Every structure is written in structure tokens, then in C-alpha cells.
Amino acid sequence: MNDTASMIEDLEELVRCESFSSDLEAVARSAKVVAAMGTRYLGTAPEVLMIDGVTHLRWSFGTPRVLLLGHHDTVWPIGSLATHPWSVVDGVARGPGVFDMKAGLVQTFHALAGLDSLDGVTLLVTGDEEVGSISSAPLIQETARGLAAAFVMEASADGGALKTARKGTSLYHVNVHGKAAHSGLEPEKGANAGIELAHQILAIAALGAGATTVTPTALSGGTTLNTVPAAATVGVDVRAAEVAEQTRVDAAMHALRPVLPGTRLEILGGPNRPPLETSMSAGLFAKARELAAGLGLEPLTSASVGGASDGNFTAGVGCPTLDGLGGVGGGAHADHEHVIVAEMPGRTALLRALIEAVR
């Protein structure tokens, strides 16, 4: 069986094992499939790490120098295979999680299997990336600290571009506490949390500047049509390309003060992932371009993206990080999610060359 055919077979096996992040039993089943596949290719079983009910896998060989990082959970609820079945038509593979990021896992195993030695390599496959890496973040940081490089096997950007910068994310909940009153008989005796929330939403939205986005999202408040709201809340999503900007917005969020007498604010949350700044990827990207040319691949391009990944964590602890080395295709999290099969062997060869160059 040639490389492409075996990759398709492996990809089908992973995609057919649904792994919705919020279903921990499904994630555990997926981990068993990923562990078995990795054992076949790497010759040894992984360390199985259960953290807060989430199943993560780690393989380590010799003294760590290079981290390969991926995740096996997806955003697709169990049963999505019925509406988005696995298929390969005209060289395009489709199915839940095929692009984000099960193709990247297949390429990783094949790249490692082709090395003369695995010495210096650590492979970490987490189970909760799609829901913020709450349980795996400390594990990722611990594993990456002090290494020469982290290669993140997330899907590529448009046209196969590698991801050399990612915005950091911060997540907040702003809770307004007011005082209820009858809205017809004595509204003046209340403290309207809804009006206070409106003031805060405008103030929060004004914190965005340049590439930094500050977006009020899910909001709710009040109980009945004839009651002054005693409580209201809004979620806030912040994306910043630089640590300084993330810090500025965090300070401003926690400095918010109520406008209406009788109301009180509660600000919860903060930075979730630090930015992956271009300075942390520049050297590795230059090396990747050189290696791609030597392999006869199309010239590599790079992209800065707003979405975060676990590569933000590796860069945040000072580990040079190159992201987007996984599948080439598109439609992450969407109905048209797909992978271009013909690109898989070349990307696999590139990863193998990168590992050999830096470990």
C-alpha cells in the first residue's frame, strides 16, 4: 500500500470515531483509537493522562528537544457522521473533524514512522483543545518549556499557508447586580441592571483598537416584562496580537465601574491564551521554506490568524513555535470541511525534515 492510500485508510479510521469535546466518553473512545494507531507507527504505547475526566496522550523518546502538538477532539456532536459522512471524492476527503485536525494526526504518525530515530521527540495529543484546553493547558506548558521547537499540527491556513502568528484570547463575563422593583408602580425604587449593562457594553466595545478586537457576545438579563432587572450579564471575547495589548485590555476590563447609582459590577475572567507572536515563529518558518524548496514542494506562504490554538501556550512559555503544519483544505467547523488528499504526503515529508533539522 502506498503512503497516500495508507494515509486515507488511517484518516478514515480517525474520522469514523467521533470525538465531540463535550462528550468525555466519546473523547476517551477516540483516545484509544489514536493510541492504537500511534502504537502501530511508533512501536510503543503512549502515556495516558486523565485530567478532569479528559483523555490526553503523550509519547516521549529520549531527552526532549522537539514537541509535536495536536488534539483529537472535535466540535462535531455525536451523530454528525449521519449528516456529514466520511467520503473521498475526486481527491477530497470529507467528514467531521477531517481538517481540524485528524489529517494532522495522520501526517504526524507517518512523519515519525519515517525517521531513523525518534530520539528527542515528544508527541502530545490533547482531548480538549476545542473547548479552551482548560485541563490540558498546564500539561502543554510543562511539556514545551525549554524545548528547541514546537510544531503544531493544526490545519493550515488558506492555500496551505503556515500559521506564523495567532492572536491571543481573553474571555470575560461581566455581571451587573442591580435592584428589582415593579416597572409600573415604582420603577424609581429599582436599580436597572439592564440599563447599566447597556452602558458597560458600549464602554467595553470601545476598548478595541487596531488589530485588537473586543466583542461583547452572549447577553441576558431580567426576569419578567413588568420587573426592573435586578441582574444582567454579558460575555466578552478579546483577541490581541501582542501581549502588551492583551494586558492593556485586561487592565481596562477590571477597571470598569458602574454608571448608575445602586448597581454593582462583577468582572470575571481574563487571558485564556497568550498571543503567538511572529518573533516566535520566524526562524522556524525560514527553515521550513528552505526545506520545502529542497523537497520540491510549492513555495510556502505564511498567515496571521485571529483564531487561537495550543501553539499559543507553547509560544507563551518561550518555545519557538510553528503552527498550521497539518492538513491542507478548508472549512474547519463548517459543513464544507475537507482535506486535499494529494497534499498529505508532501506535508508529511516537510514535518519529517523539520524534525531532523532542529532536534
Angle at CA of residue 92, ends 339 and 29, nearest 5°:
55
Write b or e for each residue in 46-66: b if 16 or more Cβ atoms lie within 10 A of its Cβ, otherwise e. Answer: beebebeebbbbbbbbeebbb
Total tally of structural domains belonging to the chain:
2
Among 34, 38, 2, smallest CA distance to 16 is for 34
Last residue of a domain, one of 256, 273, 290: 273
What does the angle CA 193 – CA 198 – CA 203 come to, to the nearest 5 degrees?
120
Three-state SS at 264: strand
* Amino acid, res. 282: A
Locate the DSSP E strands across 35-97.
47-51, 54-60, 66-71, 87-89, 92-94
Domain identity same for 140 and 227: no
Return d(Cα 313, Cα 337) in angstroms, integer: 26
**CA distance linking residue 69 with residue 312, whole number of Å:** 11
Q: Which position has the grid cell 491564551?
A: 273
Looking up cell 502530545, which residue turns up? 124
Which set of grid coordinates corresponds to residue 186?
A: 415604582
Residue 273 · residue 168 · CB < 8 Å: yes
- Of the candidates 317, 318, 337, which has an alpha carbon nearest to the alpha carbon of residue 327? 337
DSSP 160: G
Average pLDDT per block of 10 residues along the chain, 359 residues long: 87 98 98 98 98 98 98 98 98 98 98 97 98 96 98 97 97 98 97 98 98 97 98 97 96 98 98 94 98 97 94 97 98 97 97 97
Is residue 245 domain-shared with residue 133, that is, in the same domain? Answer: no
Q: Output the CA torsion 310→316→318→324 (10° steps).
A: 30
Q: Which residue has the cell 415604582?
A: 186
Which of 256, 248, 244, 145 shows the shortest CA–CA distance to 200?
A: 256
Q: Examine the domain organization and report whether 37 and 179 are in the same domain.
A: no
Same domain, residue pair 102 and 251: no
Write out the catalytic residue numbers.
73, 129
**Same domain for 255 and 206:** yes
3-state secondary structure (DSSP) of residue 217? strand
Domain region containing 248: 168-273
pLDDT at position 307 is: 86
Q: Collapsing DSSP states into helix, strand and coil, what is residue 323? A: strand
Cβ–Cβ < 8 Å for 214, 250 = no
User: CATH code at 240?
Assistant: 3.30.70.360
Same domain, 119 and 10: yes
* Residue 116: how many other CB atoms lie within 10 Å: 6
Given strand 47-51, what is the order of strands in its sheet? 47-51, 54-60, 121-126, 66-71, 149-152, 321-322
For residue 226, count other CB atoms closer than 10 A to its CB. Answer: 10
The residue out of 220, 250, 273 marking a domain boundary is 273
Residue 2: per-residue pLDDT = 59
113, 220: one domain: no
Domain co-membership, 345 together with 252: no
Domain of residue 318, CATH code: 3.40.630.10
Q: Which of 234, 251, 273 is the last residue of a domain?
A: 273
Contact between 119 and 62 under an 8 Å Cβ cutoff? The reply is yes
The answer to whether 86 and 169 have CB atoms below 8 angstroms apart is: no
- Residues composing the chain: 359
Supply the pLDDT for residue 1.
43
